Amino acid sequence: MWGDEQELAILRESIQAYAPSFQEKPVIGIIKKIFDGLPVEFSTDTFGNVKVVAGHGKPVLFLASHMDTIASPLPFKEDVEFMHGRGAVDCRPSLMAMALATRRAVMNGFKGTVVFGGIAAEEVSTDGIKIFLESMKEKPDFAIFGEPTGSGRVCIAYKGRVWLAIAVKSKPGHVAAAWIHANPIEVITDFYDAMKAGLDSLVKKKELSPFFTPRATITTLNAGSIPNMIPGEATADIDIRFPPSIPKEKIIGMATSVKENLLTKYREQDPAIAIGIEVKSSIDGIKVEQDNLVCQALGACIEESTKEKVSFVKKTGTTFMNHIGTFFKCPIVTYGPGDPGLEHTSDEHVSKKEFLAAIKILEAVIVKLSG
C-alpha cells in the first residue's frame, strides 16, 4: 500500500512531465505504473486514450479526466505546501487523484466496477472523448469528471458550446472605391453583431447571471495584407457559450439564418460574394440536480473529510462532463483539487494537502457508491 509520499511522488512526476495534446506518452507511462501488478484491465486506443477497468458487475462508476496540458511549458517548482508547473491545476491533480483513488479501492476491496479514463488531446479536440465513449462497453450508473473545482466544491452544471468557423470571399478592390465592394471583414463583423443581438433576445430578464447568459466571442480573425486594399477573403472563429435551457440546434439555426440575411444584403455590392459557415464542434449544456446519488455521495464524503459544508456550483465553461452526461444520461458531476482560476495561467500550482485529501475523498466515494 502506498503512503502519502509515494502518492505525492506520482503527482510530482506527472507535473514534471511536459505532455501537451497528442504528446501524452509520459503521462500514460505514469498511469501504467500506478496500476502495475494489480488485477485490472489496462488498455490504450488508437487516439491515445487510456482505459483501466477494475472489478466487475454492478454498479459501474466511471471516473475520467484528461491527460494533456496546453502547449506552454512552465518550470516545475516545489515548496512545503505547493507544487508549481504546467498542469499543476489543469489537470494532473484531478487525473492522478482519480487513478490513485482507484488503485486504493482495488487494494482495499469494493463492489461493482470502476472504469478509469485518461482522455487525450482535450485542450484541442473533442475527438478523444467521443472515441472513448463510443467504444466503451460498460454502461455507467454514475460518473465523475475530473477538473479543478476546489476541495469543498462540486460542479453540477456547465454551459453548452458551438464553435463556428466563418469564411467570406468577395471581389477585392481599392479602398478608394470601398462603397462598391463587399468587405469580408465588415461581413464578419456584421455576422458577429447579428449573432450577439440574436443571443441577447434569448435572455430572460430574470436570468442575467453569467451562467444563464449566452455569449459569443471572436477568437481568431484573419484578413488582408495590403493596407490600402479591400481583401478578397477573411476568416474567423466564433466561440458561443450558452446555458442548458437553450438547445445547440437553436444556435446553429440562428447562424444559418444570419448568413442568409447577409448574403441578401451584400449581393447588391458583389453578386459573387460567398459566406461559408462550418460548425467545428457543438455540445449542449448540462445541469444535474443536487439530489442525485453521485452528488449526495460525493458531497457527504467531502463534508466528512473537510468538516465543512460542500458547495454546488455552476461553471460558465464547457467540459467533457457535457459529453459524458449527454452520451450515457447517467448522474454525473465534476470534481477535482486545485483553483480553477489558475488554469492556463503562469502561476499554476496545487496544494499537496488538497491533492491527498481528494484521493481519500474519491476512494470513499467509490466505496459508498458500490455499497
Which class is domain 160-283? alpha beta
pLDDT over 90 (residue 204): no
pLDDT over 70 (residue 206): no
Q: Which CATH architecture has domain 4-158+286-370?
A: 3-Layer(aba) Sandwich (3.40)
Quick: pLDDT tens for 28-58: 999 999 999 999 999 999 999 999 999 999 9
Single pTM value for the model: 0.91
What beta strand segments (E) does the chain contain? 40-44, 50-56, 60-66, 77-78, 82-84, 112-119, 142-145, 153-158, 160-169, 173-174, 215-223, 229-230, 233-242, 274-283, 286-287, 311-315, 332-334, 349-351
Distance CA 365, CA 347 (A): 30
Quick: pLDDT tens for 266-282: 998 999 999 999 999 99
Q: CA angle at residue 331 from 326 to 337, to 5 degrees? A: 100
Quick: pLDDT tens for 311-365: 999 999 999 999 999 999 999 999 999 999 999 999 999 999 999 999 999 999 9
Distance CA 11, CA 20 (A): 16
Domain boundaries, the chain: 4-158+286-370, 160-283
User: Looking up cell 448522474, which residue turns up?
Assistant: 331
DSSP string, 127-173: HHHHHHHHH--S--SEEEE-----TTEEEEEE-EEEEEEEEEE---E
Distance CA 254, CA 275 (A): 15
Helix (H) or strand (E) holding 189: helix 184-201
